[in-house]
Copies of this chain bind each other. A is one copy, B any other.
Amino acid sequence: MKALFHVNEPDRWPRVLLNINNFLRDVGSGNASIEVVANGAGVLAYSQGKQDLIKQMEKLHGQGVVFAACRNALNMHNISEENLPFFVTVVPAGITEIVQKQAAGYAYIKP
């Protein structure tokens, strides 16, 4: 099962991470390919996020979840790529990533 989560508002992150945890517990981490694409203000959680959110992301990353950040959004919010957590993947444009993943069979979810 393939799932893409789209986050463009900072306050949605707790919900997103809860959804992913429930999903993984339901299907097993070996049975799911999961990517989170943050664009707009969604990228703020990567640099200014509460530590418990970052820890949850890091743990999910260890279970194979991909955390992507839109470069346009990083630039717009003056976030330096070097200051991102190690587990964040930067993509040139969040929307392109979302379109390509759906074309590759990922379900789209906007929590």
**Residues in chain A within 8 A of chain B (CB atoms):** 1-3, 6, 8, 15, 18-20, 22-23, 25-27, 39-40, 70, 72, 92-96, 98-100, 102-103, 105, 107-111
Contact B96 A26, beta carbon cutoff 8 Å: yes
Can you list 29 contacts pairing A with B, beta carbon distance less than 8 Å? Answer: A1-B99, A2-B99, A3-B95, A3-B99, A6-B109, A8-B15, A19-B40, A20-B95, A22-B70, A22-B72, A22-B93, A22-B94, A23-B93, A23-B95, A23-B99, A27-B93, A27-B96, A40-B111, A95-B109, A98-B107, A98-B109, A99-B107, A99-B109, A102-B107, A102-B108, A107-B108, A108-B108, A108-B109, A110-B110
A27 contacts across to B, CB distance below 8 A: 93, 96
A3 contacts across to B, CB distance below 8 A: 95, 99
The majority secondary structure among interface residues of chain A is helix
13 additional contacts (CB under 8 A) given A22-B95, A99-B109: A1-B96, A1-B103, A3-B95, A19-B40, A22-B93, A22-B94, A23-B96, A26-B95, A27-B96, A40-B111, A102-B108, A107-B108, A108-B108
